[in-house]
Amino acid sequence: MNKKKWIITAAIVVLLGGGGYFGYSYLNATPSAGEEPEMEPPSFPTATVERGEVKKTIFAGGTVAAKDREEVKPEAAGKIEKLLVSEGQTVKKGDTLFTIDSTDDLLSVQKQELAITRAQKELSEIKDKKDRINADKPGKVTQVLVKDGQTVAEDDVVAKVLDTDSLKIVGKFTAYEVEQFHVGQNVKVFMTASLVYLDGTITKIDMTGSKGKLSDGAHDVEVVVKKQGALYPGDKGVVQYTNEKGVLFASQSASEFTLPEEEEIKAGTNGTVDEVLIEKDDVVKKGQMIVKMDVTAAELDLKDKELSLKESLLALEQKKREIAKKRVEAPISGVITKLNVKEGETISGGEAVAIIMDTSSVYFMAAVDEIDIPAIQVGQAVEVYVTAFGNRPFQGKVVEVPKEGTKEDKAVRFEVKVELSESSEMKHGMTGDCDIFIEQKDNVLRLPLNAVEVMEEGKGNVMVKNPENGEPMPKEVEIGVEGADFIEITGGLQEGDEVLMMGGM
C-alpha cells in the first residue's frame, strides 16, 4: 500500500473509531431497562508528545518520463531509399537514420548550377564592357570604320592608322642567319649613302623563306626605324647585327626604306557606339580615346543579369536544402524505441516515422494542482512512489516548475519535473504519485496527525483524560506545520504529555 492509500485508510479508521466512542457515550448515558451493572468506560490507546521532525507535503500523481524523447517527422516526402537503423538501436545526435530518394532534386541542382554558370559568364561579359575605345597604337588615321549608333563586337576594327614617324626596311638573310634573330630585337641599319648607322627594331621574321639566288634561299627580316633627320622612303640601307662573340650578320644586299603598313585598332569591347571622336587624317596618340560607348543599355542589362543571378542562387540554395531534408538525422542521442518505416516505402512529409528516447536517466512528471503550485520551488525534496514498485520510495528533487498549466476537465494541472537519484529500473510511461516536501522543521514537539483535530489555522483539539473521572475530554492546543504523518505542537502540551487516540491506531 502506498502512502496515499495509507492516509485514506487511517481516515476511515478515525471515523469508525469516533463513531464507536460516541455510541458508547450514548449507551452509557441511556442504560437499558432492567440493566443494573454500570459499564466501565472503554480504554483508548495514547500518543505521547515527542520531539522530532515534521514535514509538510503536497501530494500529486504523475508519470515517469525519459530524459528526452523526440518523434522523428521528416519534412520531405518520398520513397525511403536506404534505411540505416533498426528498432532498439542506439544512435547519436546527427546520425543518419535513413535517406529519401532525391534523384530528381539532384538533376534540378545540376541544371540550376549550369544556369548559374551561364548567368555568371553573361554578367562578366557585361562588366567587361567599356565606356570607351582607346587607340592602342599611335599614327595618322587612314580609315574610320564605325559611326554613331553602330553596334560593335570585341574583334571589330574601328579604325586604321599609319605610323608616320617610322619607316621600315626588309633585309634578306640565310636560314642559318635568321635563327639569330627574334621579334623585338634591337639591330643596326647601315645607310649606304651617308655611311651612318641607325637604330632599328625587328617587327617581323619570315621563318619560311623563299628560294633566291643562294642555294639555301632567303628569309625576310622586317625592321622599323624611327625617322631621324633627312630619312625618306626610297633611301637604302643594310640590316646588321653583331652577336656576343663579335660575329657580324648583314643582309644580303641593300634594300629601300618604305612606309610601314596600316595598323588596325579593334574595339576590344561589345556595345553600341555613342560618339566617334576621330576623323580621317587625324593624328592620334597611344591611349587616346577615339570612340565613346553608350553604357545606358549595359547598365540596365547589368542590373537585370545581377537580379537573375541572385534568383538562380536562391533557387539553388532552396534545392540543396530540400536535398538535405531527404537525409533524415537523429535529433537527439538515445535508443530507437519505435520505427514505422521500411526501405522502399513512401512516406508523407510531417509524418512521425520513428521515436527516439534518451533513457540514460528518467524524470517523474508530477501533476500538481493549481492551488498547490505557488508553494512548489526548485530544489524541494520529493519522495516518489511508482505503482510498479509498491511502497518503495524513490528520492528526488524538484528541478523545474512550469510557468503554464494544462486544463484537465475543470481543473488546471502544472507538470512539475522531479529528478530522481535512482531511476535505472524505471521505464518511460510508468505511473505513480509523490510527496513534495514544501516545509520541514526538526526537533519540534509533535503528535501523530490523526491524534489532533484541526479547527482553524494555528489551532486544534486533542482528547485527554479528565483528571477527576478519567473520562476523555477535549483540550485546545496550538499547532504549527501540518505534515503527512505528524503535526507540530506549539502550545498547550509539554513533551511527554499523553493524548488519547480516539480513533485507534
Beta strands in 209-340 (DSSP E): 219-226, 236-242, 248-250, 255-256, 263-266, 271-276, 283-284, 289-294, 327-329, 334-339
Torsion, CA 389, CA 391, CA 392, CA 398, rounded to 10: 100
Is pTM beyond 0.95? Reply is no
pLDDT along the chain (505 residues), means of 10: 43 42 44 55 83 92 89 89 91 92 86 86 78 91 94 93 91 91 95 91 90 69 88 93 92 91 90 92 93 83 84 88 88 89 87 86 92 94 95 94 89 94 84 93 93 92 88 93 90 93 62
Share of the chain residues as helix, strand and coil, in percent rounded to the nearest 5: 20, 45, 35
What integer pLDDT is reported at residue 31 of this predicted model?
A: 52
Which amino acid is present at 264?
A: E
Of 308, 358, 365, which is closest to residue 337 (Cα–Cα)?
358
Helices 296-325 and 103-128 meet at what angle, rounded to 10? 160
User: Measured between alpha carbons, how far is 375 from 370 in angstroms, rounded to an integer?
Assistant: 10
pLDDT on residue 213: 55
φ/ψ of residue 317, rounded to 5: -60, -40
DSSP state string for 346-390: EE-TT---EEEEEEEEEEEEEEEETTTGGG--TT-EEEEEEGGGT
Asked whether the beta carbons of 123 and 309 are under 8 A apart, the reply is yes
Identify the pLDDT of residue 12. Answer: 39
Strands 283-284 and 346-347: unpaired
The answer for residues whose C-beta is within 8 angstroms of residue 199's C-beta and 6 or more apart is 186, 188, 189, 225, 226
- According to DSSP, the β-strands at 90-91 and 132-134 are unpaired
Position 294 scores a pLDDT of 87
- Rg of the chain taking only CA atoms, in angstroms: 55
The answer to whether the CB of 246 falls within 8 A of the CB of 130 is no
Q: Tell me the pairing of strands 334-339 and 50-72.
A: unpaired
* C-alpha cell recorded at residue 489: 505542537
Element (H, E) at 320: helix 296-325
How many angstroms separate the CA atoms of 425 and 387, rounded?
A: 13
Q: Cβ distance 132 to 288 under 8 Å? A: no
Question: Rounded distance, CA 45 to CA 101, Å?
Answer: 79
| DSSP conformation class of 218 | B
CA–CA separation, 356 and 333 (whole Å): 8
On whether the CB atoms of residues 252 and 173 are closer than 8 A, the answer is yes
**pLDDT on residue 42:** 63
Neighbours of 72 (CB within 10 A): 22
Residue given cell 640565310 in the structure block = 174
What is the per-residue pLDDT for 26? 42
CA distances from 237 to 228, 248, 249, 250 (A): 14, 16, 14, 11
- The pLDDT score that the predictor gives to residue 212 is 58
Cα–Cα distance list, 239 to 175, 248, 262, 494 (Å): 15, 11, 23, 138
Predicted local confidence at residue 319, as pLDDT: 86
Cβ within 8 Å of residue 7, ≥6 positions away: 484
